[in-house]
C-alpha cells in the first residue's frame, strides 16, 4: 500500500479506488512496522469508502485490526452520510474513569493493597457473564438508566450530583430510546449494571509518579505521589447485543439505500434512515448504561476504601477526575460543520477554551484518560488546538500487538511475571490473564510520544500501577 510520509509521525494513504477521502495514520518509526502485520490499513480504506465520510479517516498510533473500523480509528461523517455500528464497536461506550483521592500511595503497603483488592472484589463482580450485586435495584431503574444515564443512578443512591460535571456528556448522550433496543439486549443488560466484565477491563490502584504540567495537574486535582483508581469497562452484554442486532439489520438494509458495504463488519445505513436512527437511539442507551456502570463501580470502590481505611468517601477526597468514552458515535461541531464522529478505540481530547468542554475544564481542556496495558503506566493527556486535525481525538491505550490466541501461545509464565514486576494482581494462575500481558500490547510510551511529538496532545501526569483487578471466573 502506498503510504506516504506526511510530516513528523504522520502518514497519508491517498484516496484511490472506491475511497472517497484520504486516510491518515499517526505512527513513529517504532510503531510503523506494526501496520504491515494486520488488516488495519485495509479497514481504514474501507471506512474511507462510506458515503458522507469527511476527510480524513484517521488511525491512531495504537491502531490494530478490529471488526469493521480498526480499533484506534476515527471516522467523521456529514449529516447526509451514514452511521455504522462497526465504527463504534461491540463494546459500546467502553471507556475509562480516573478517580482522584487525597491519599498518598506511600501509605499503602502490599498487605493493605491486598485487603483493598479483596474488598473491591467483594463488591464488584468481575468476569464474563457475571450479574450485578445491586440486582433488584438496578433492574428496577434499568430503563431510566438507558434514557438518562448517570443521573438515574445518582438518584438511586450511587454517588453525588456533583459527579456529573466530571463525565463526558455529563453521563448522558441525548436521543436514547429503549424502544429501539431488542428484548434480548434488555434481558442481558438489566442484570449487569455494576459489573466489570472480562478481557481488557480492569480496576487499578495507581500512584501518580510524574507530573509534566503542574498547573494543569493541580486543576485536574492530581499531584505527585497521589493514590488514584482507574476503572476500565463498558456496556457489557447490553452493548454487545445491540451491536450484534444492528450489524445484521444495517447490513440487510444497506443495499435498499444504494450503499455498497466495503466489508461485512462496517454495516452502515444513512443517518437519516429509519434503521440508522434506530441504531443511534439504541447505541445511546448503551452509552448511558456504560457511563452509569462506571458510576456504580466507582461508588462500590469508594465504599471498599471506606471499609478498609475507616474513612468516609468525602474524607478521602475520592471523586472522578474524568470519565471518557473511547467507543462511541456523537454529534460534534468541527470546522464549523455538524458531524457524526465515530470513535472506536479513540478518546476525545478537547483543547483549552473549546466550548464543548465541561464547565470545570472549559479553560484547561478536559483530561483525556489513557490506560496502559496490565502492569504498565497510564497517562492523563490533554488535547491541543492542533488536535483539530484528528477531530480532537487521541489514542485510547497501548493497543493490542498480539491476538489473544497468539499471546496465549507465545508468552511464558516467566515473561509474564517479569513484566508484572511488583504489581499485584488478583488472578491466581497467569493463564487466566496471559492474553492481557504487557507483552501482548504495544509500548504505551511510544504510542503517547507519537502524538506528543506531532503536537496533538500534551502529557499532564503519568501513573504507575500498584494493584490491578481483572475479570476472572
x/- letters, 421..440, toward DNA (CB under 7 A): ---------------x----
Is residue 187 a contact point for DNA (CB under 7 A)?
A: yes
Q: Residue 8, Cβ neighbours under 10 Å: how many?
A: 11
- Which helix (H) or strand (E) is 229 found in, with range? strand 227-233
323 is a site residue for DNA (CB under 7 A) = no
Query: From the CB of 290, what's the least distance to DNA, in Å?
Result: 10
Q: Which of 97, 100, 134, 240 binds DNA (CB under 7 A)?
A: 240
| C-alpha–C-alpha distance, residues 301 and 231, integer Å | 9
The region of 39-47, 236-244, 423-431, 456-464 touching DNA under the rule CB under 7 A is 236-244
Neighbours of 79 (CB within 10 A): 13
If one asks whether residue 201 binds DNA (CB under 7 A), the answer comes out as: yes
Task: Note whether 186 binds DNA by CB under 7 A.
Answer: no
Question: Considering the complex, what minimum distance in angstroms separates the CB of residue 66 from DNA?
Answer: 9
| Range 218-225, long-range pairs (CB < 8 A, 24+ positions) | 219/361, 219/364, 220/100, 220/321, 220/322, 220/361, 220/364, 220/367, 220/380, 220/460, 220/461, 221/100, 221/317, 221/319, 221/321, 222/100, 222/321, 222/380, 222/460, 222/461, 225/104, 225/105, 225/106
Distance of CA 216 to the CA centre of its chain: 22
Contact residue for DNA among 125, 199, 265, 320 (CB under 7 A)? 199
Q: Is 396 a catalytic residue?
A: yes
From the list 46, 163, 342, 396, the catalytic residue is 396
CB of 200 to DNA, least distance (A): 2
Measured from the CB atom, the residue of 281 and 404 that comes closer to DNA is 404
Q: Binder to DNA among 197, 221, 262, 276 (CB under 7 A)? A: 197
Provide φ and ψ at 331, rounded to 5°.
Answer: -80, 125
Does residue 249 bind DNA (CB under 7 A)? no
Q: Which three cell numbers stand for residue 190?
A: 438489566
Q: Which stretch binds DNA (CB under 7 A): 77-85, 234-242, 261-269, 358-366?
A: 234-242
CB of 12 to DNA, least distance (A): 28
Cα 89-93-96 angle, rounded to 5 deg: 120
Q: Under the criterion CB under 7 A, does residue 70 sit at the interface with DNA?
A: no
DSSP E strand stretches across 294-433: 319-325, 327-334, 337-344, 346-348, 368-370, 378-383, 393-395, 424-425
Total site size for DNA, rule CB under 7 A? 26
CA–CA distance, 199 with 168 (Å, rounded to integer)? 23
Active site residues: 396
By CB under 7 A, name the binding residues for DNA.
90-91, 94, 127-129, 184, 187-188, 192, 197-201, 233-234, 236-237, 240-241, 400, 404, 436, 471, 473
Residue numbers belonging to the annotated binding site for Mn(2+): 91, 201, 232, 326
Residue numbers belonging to the annotated binding site for GMP: 200-204, 326-327, 371-374, 378, 396-399, 470
Amino acid at each position: 500500500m502506498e503510504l506516504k510520509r506526511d510530516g513528523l509521525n504522520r502518514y497519508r494513504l491517498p484516496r484511490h479506488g472506491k475511497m472517497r477521502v484520504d486516510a491518515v495514520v499517526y505512527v513513529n518509526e517504532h510503531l510503523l512496522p506494526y501496520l504491515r502485520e494486520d488488516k488495519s490499513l485495509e479497514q481504514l480504506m474501507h471506512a474511507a469508502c462510506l458515503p458522507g465520510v469527511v476527510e480524513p479517516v484517521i488511525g491512531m498510533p495504537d491502531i490494530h485490526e478490529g471488526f469493521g473500523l480498526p480499533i484506534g480509528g476515527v471516522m467523521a461523517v456529514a449529516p447526509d452520510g451514514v452511521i455504522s455500528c462497526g465504527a463504534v464497536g461491540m463494546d459500546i461506550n467502553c471507556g475509562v474513569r480516573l478517580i482522584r483521592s487525597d491519599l498518598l500511595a506511600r501509605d499503602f503497603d502490599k498487605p493493605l493493597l491486598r485487603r483493598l483488592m479483596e474488598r473491591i472484589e467483594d463488591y464488584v463482580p468481575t468476569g464474563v457473564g457475571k450479574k450485578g450485586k445491586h440486582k433488584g435495584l438496578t433492574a428496577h431503574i434499568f430503563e431510566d438508566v438507558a434514557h438518562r444515564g448517570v443521573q438515574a443512578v445518582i438518584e438511586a443512591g450511587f454517588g453525588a450530583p456533583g459527579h456529573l460535571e466530571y463525565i463526558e456528556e455529563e453521563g448522558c448522550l441525548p436521543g436514547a430510546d429503549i424502544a429501539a433496543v431488542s428484548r434480548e439486549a434488555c434481558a442481558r443488560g438489566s442484570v449487569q449494571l455494576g459489573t466489570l466484565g472480562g478481557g481488557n477491563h480492569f480496576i487499578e490502584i495507581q500512584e501518580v509518579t510524574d507530573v509534566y504540567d503542574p498547573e494543569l495537574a493541580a486543576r485536574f486535582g492530581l499531584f505527585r505521589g497521589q493514590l488514584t483508581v482507574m476503572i476500565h469497562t463498558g456496556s457489557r452484554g447490553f452493548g454487545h447485543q445491540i451491536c450484534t442486532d444492528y450489524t445484521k439489520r444495517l447490513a440487510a438494509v444497506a443495499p435498499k439505500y444504494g450503499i455498497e458495504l466495503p466489508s461485512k463488519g462496517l454495516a452502515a445505513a444513512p443517518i437519516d434512515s429509519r434503521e440508522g436512527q434506530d441504531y443511534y437511539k439504541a447505541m445511546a442507551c448503551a452509552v448511558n448504561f456504560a457511563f452509569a456502570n462506571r458510576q456504580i463501580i466507582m461508588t462500590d470502590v469508594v465504599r471498599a476504601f471506606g471499609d478498609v481505611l475507616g474513612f468516609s468517601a468525602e474524607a478521602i477526597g475520592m471523586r472522578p477526575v474524568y470519565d471518557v468514552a473511547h467507543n462511541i458515535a456523537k454529534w460534534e461541531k468541527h470546522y464549523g460543520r455538524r458531524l457524526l464522529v465515530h470513535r472506536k478505540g479513540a478518546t476525545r481530547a478537547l483543547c483549552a477554551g473549546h466550548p464543548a468542554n465541561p464547565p470545570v475544564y472549559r479553560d484547561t481542556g478536559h483530561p483525556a484518560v489513557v490506560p496502559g496495558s496490565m502492569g504498565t503506566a497510564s497517562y492523563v493527556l490533554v488535547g491541543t488546538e492542533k488536535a483539530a486535525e484528528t477531530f480532537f481525538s487521541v489514542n485510547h491505550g497501548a493497543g493490542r500487538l498480539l491476538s489473544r490466541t497468539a499471546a496465549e501461545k507465545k508468552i511464558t509464565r516467566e515473561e509474564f511475571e517479569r513484566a508484572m514486576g511488583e504489581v499485584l494482581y488478583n488472578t491466581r494462575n497467569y493463564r487466566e490473564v496471559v492474553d492481557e500481558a504487557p507483552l501482548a500490547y504495544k509500548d504505551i510510551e511510544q504510542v503517547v510520544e507519537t502524538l506528543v511529538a506531532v503536537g496533538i496532545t500534551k502529557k499532564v501526569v503519568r501513573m504507575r500501577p500498584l494493584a490491578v483487578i481483572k475479570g476472572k471466573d
